Chain A
Amino acid sequence: MRSIRKGYILAPLLSTLWAITIVWCLSVISSFSTGDAFKPNFLLTSLSGLTVGLVCSRIKGFKKNHKLGIFILLFIALVVLSPITRLTDKSFNNLEFFLNSLFSVILIISTSKTLRDIDFYELTRHQFEDYIIKFLTNFGYIFFTAIVAIPFYVMVMTSLKNQSELLLNPLNFSIDLSKGYDLFRSYTELFSDFNFGSYVITSFFVSIFTVMITLLFAIPGAYAVARLRFKGRSIFSSSILLIYMVPLIVLALPIYVGFSLFGLRNSVLGILMIYPVTTIPVALYMLQGYFRTVPTEIEESGLMDGLSRISVILKITLPLSLPSIVSVSLYVFMIAWNEFLLAFMLLDDPSKFTITRGVAMLDSSEVPRQHLMAGSVVATIPVMLMFLLLEKYLRQGLTAGSIKG
């Protein structure tokens, strides 16, 4: 370990890894946005990284102007190296030049910032690890952003293309703005030919009802568990989550049998019976956690003033825990909206489909896949909007109820 704790080893090493990260990132981005292939040259990239790293480790204490001059020279050198090549017939083009310049600028600026004031020789353990962590953090941002963003980017872009474009070049996600409203053809067809409007409405209806039924059951139950003394309370509060550990498919099997026997299959009523059951336990668990945080003194003073227990709940506890009820509602809405398995098994009649069931219907060889992606976008947008607008509540809902600490 000690032997590599030297500036002249660490700086080029990190800088090379960083250069490879950036070059891959830029190549993938430009491939995904133009449809052309951009191939990074591994050797040239490493060479650029090495040079930048070495230079950065040597310039500690230089005057600002000198540093600037060195960086400009470095920039010119890197552009000449041009590690990214466009794999097309054209020998030279602006885009390639632009990409290489961009690569050089990003590499030089970010490396000189991360490796600021690094010593050429001996580094303390502290400095050494600090530089590594800085590099890993930067890498982490790019890595996580890429893995999260790419699928969603592809989902949206595919939905804006047509079949022949997709087959011609699966990489080409550039948008032809001249098509105007025609870009959204998959969406208009989805709503006109595939009846998606009705699915969206059914899903909203089902989700909102699920939220209401869940709250109706879970609020009294949660209050009882949080505040009232009764025999079996501790067993109850710890076993309520056990239900959450039953696999849905295992529950779906007898529900399918039962609903078939009682004629509830293929009906929105059946869906409305089963959805809340999957959400009540977790809602109850989350709510009882919140109710405990309402100071007992306030409730006590209400009781002293002669309010009945029920009116204490209605007039004191509920208004005080309104934000948490919003969180729980959002969480339950999300579960109901995203639910796929039960809808898939219990609904066969297209007039009663929820949105997830509707999207599942699009997964066939006869339906072009831009429609499938457009359906996925339609299914995703409401939860995403809700999530972005009310992220704070949802985040609280996800964390606070489930696990203390």
Chain B
Amino acid sequence: MLGFIYTKSNRTLAKKEEQLAWVLLFPTLAIIFSIVILPLASIFWISFKPISLSDLRPPKPIIKERLKGNLEIEGDKGEVHYRIRNSSRDQIINNVKLVDTIPRGLKVLNLDDRCQLDQRKLSCNLGSFKGGYREVLKLKVTSNKIFYISKISPKETIPKITGKSENILTNLNFSLVNFKRIFDRDEFFQVLFVTLFYTVFGTVGALIMGLLAALILNKNFRGQGIFRGLFLFPYVAPVIAVAFTWVLLFDPFSGSINALLIQMQVIETPINFFGKRPLALIMVTVFEVWRYFPLSFLFILARMQSIDNEMYEAAEMDGASPFQKFWYLSIPMLLGILSILFLLRFIWTFNKFDDIFLLTGGNAGTRTLTVNVYEQAFALSNIGAGAAVAVVIFIFLLIFSILFFKFISREEGL
């Protein structure tokens, strides 16, 4: 690492280097802090708050102004109506204040108790609005000449209304409702089981398939490149395209696979692959294996091709059979990459959301923890409960990453 600089023991240079390093790293750190770390920390905050999607808009007083009556000649009387309501159905707004300017040419005849008129400036102190509160504030007015000459409509001056509402996101009330809600039912353990099934079998399946694919392609022949490219397709294509293709392919009514199986007389009635327990869970796991075996394949093949061929030749001389060579030579050499892949894929499969969401939407017994975050937060509009599930995911990930780092430091792979 540019060692000669240090042999001079030039401290200022080293300091300069450190400064430069932080300057170069600063943009990355800043953006990651603001768009990853901060939001993630807020998950914990939100998880202790019973909020729903609709609470994301804080309650506001809403006002509409209208002039009633015909003001056609001088001295005509009319009423200015302010229709005011609370935008929220259940939350209180305190200290509601209304400010408006009465147009020139209009004279206010009576004034509500809560209002004051200073010249043409109307200001009202309306107090607290309960959830769902609405009222019409009426102002009797009469017109004079100026009103017609200048043709002013009272609507031209827009009334301003303000109020203080408690933002449920930022107040200091916490509760354990969300956690109670997600842990209280058997559903949670069902979700946990599905997650583990999907993660374990998805990971192991993809690894084995990747290993097999790498084994058959680990030789030089013409067209190897074509196969290698082809095998990567499932991983490279957009998930949305392949997921929808799978859904159509396995559709019980008009899917090609069902049609094929029926016409070949393998089955008699169509199978609802993605709609029936426990088949749906198996199918999404198969999809996961299909989509991610290319990744394992790629890494394992790269490792295989870096194994020294002399070792195999020596084994061949000693009379080792092909399976023995695979078992006693290849597998130990691949163990490192296999275990790293297992850990990485395990965590990524655990985190996977899109695939199941697109295939089944989490129905038919395929709801994993990550799908549950979406289900709670957006399908059931309960952001707080969604965040609580996310916290549970975090705890799992924490355990995984501790294991991961313990393991990796031994493997020295990463």
Residues of A within 8 A of B (CB): 27-28, 31-32, 37-40, 87, 125-126, 128-130, 133, 136-137, 140-141, 144-145, 147-152, 154-155, 158, 166-167, 169-171, 173, 216-218, 220-221, 223-225, 227-231, 233, 236, 238, 241-243, 245-251, 253-255, 257-258, 260-261, 273-274, 276-277, 280-281, 284, 296, 299-300, 303, 309, 334, 337-338, 340-341, 345, 355-356, 359-360, 363, 369, 372-373, 375-377, 379-380, 383-384, 387-388, 391, 394-395, 398-399, 402-405
Contacts and interface: CB of A to CB of B under 8 A. Distances in A.
A246 B254 contact: no
Contacts of B21: 224, 228-230, 233
Contact of B46 (A129, A254, A363): A254
Contact of A39 (B264, B295, B354): B264
A231 B56 CA distance: 41
A241 B414 contact: yes
B395 to A, nearest CB: 12
A218 B24 CA distance: 9
Contacts of B231: 144, 148
Contact of A387 (B232, B249, B264, B321): B232
Nearest to A137: B216
Contacts of A363: 244
Is the interface on chain B under 10, 10 to 19, 20 to 34, or 35 or more residues? 35 or more
B373 A140 contact: no
Nearest to A243: B36
A298 B322 CA distance: 46
B245 A376 contact: yes
Nearest to A27: B264
Interface string B1-37: 1101100000000100110111111011001100110
A250 B354 contact: no
B290 A300 contact: no
Contacts of B258: 170
Given A223-B24, A277-B32, A246 B40 contact: yes
28 contacts: A39-B265, A128-B321, A136-B216, A137-B216, A154-B245, A220-B24, A224-B21, A225-B25, A228-B24, A229-B14, A229-B17, A230-B22, A245-B351, A246-B36, A255-B35, A276-B31, A303-B5, A309-B20, A338-B237, A375-B241, A379-B240, A380-B237, A383-B236, A383-B237, A384-B233, A402-B299, A403-B337, A403-B414
A171 B254 contact: no
Interface in B194-253: 212-213, 215-216, 225, 227-234, 236-242, 244-246, 248-249
Contacts of B353: 247-249, 341
Nearest to B389: A250
Interface centre among A144, A274, A359 (most CB of B within 10 A): A144
Given A229-B17, A300-B4, A379-B241, A151 B414 contact: no
A363 B359 CA distance: 11
B347 to A, nearest CB: 5
Nearest to B167: A261
A216 to B, nearest CB: 8
A376 B241 contact: yes
Contacts of B323: 129, 133
Given A133-B322, A345-B378, 19 more contacts: A32-B256, A166-B254, A173-B256, A220-B23, A230-B22, A243-B32, A248-B353, A253-B383, A255-B39, A277-B31, A337-B238, A341-B353, A341-B354, A355-B238, A356-B240, A360-B240, A376-B241, A383-B236, A402-B299
B303 interface: yes
Given A151-B249, A223-B24, A261-B56, A253 B240 contact: no
A148 B321 contact: no
Contacts of B248: 154, 158, 369, 372-373
A128 B323 CA distance: 10
Count chain B CB atoms within 10 A of each CB in A147, A170, A375, A376 and give the residue with the most: A170
Interface in B328-363: 336-337, 340-341, 347-348, 350-354, 357-358
A31 B258 CA distance: 13
A405 B413 contact: yes
Contacts of B321: 125-126, 128-129
Nearest to A36: B263
Nearest to A359: B240
Chain B at the A interface: mostly helix, strand, loop or mixed? helix
B222 to A, nearest CB: 13
Contacts of A369: 248
A190 B265 CA distance: 37
Contact of A380 (B35, B215, B238): B238
Contacts of A31: 260, 263-264
A32 B264 CA distance: 12
B50 interface: no
A395 B305 CA distance: 14
A249 B373 contact: yes
Contacts of B383: 253, 257
Describe A's contact surface by its main secondary structure: helix
B411 to A, nearest CB: 9
Contacts of A251: 36, 39-40
Interface in B166-206: 169
B36 A277 contact: yes
A144 B226 CA distance: 13
Contacts of B24: 220-221, 223-224, 228
A83 to B, nearest CB: 13
B298 interface: yes
B36 A399 contact: no
Contacts of B14: 229
B27 A405 contact: no
A154 B56 contact: no
Contacts of B4: 300
A329 to B, nearest CB: 15
B255 A170 contact: yes
A81 to B, nearest CB: 19
A257 B393 contact: no
Given A147-B290, A261-B56, A300-B4, A218 B43 contact: no
B386 interface: yes
Contacts of B358: 340
B407 interface: no
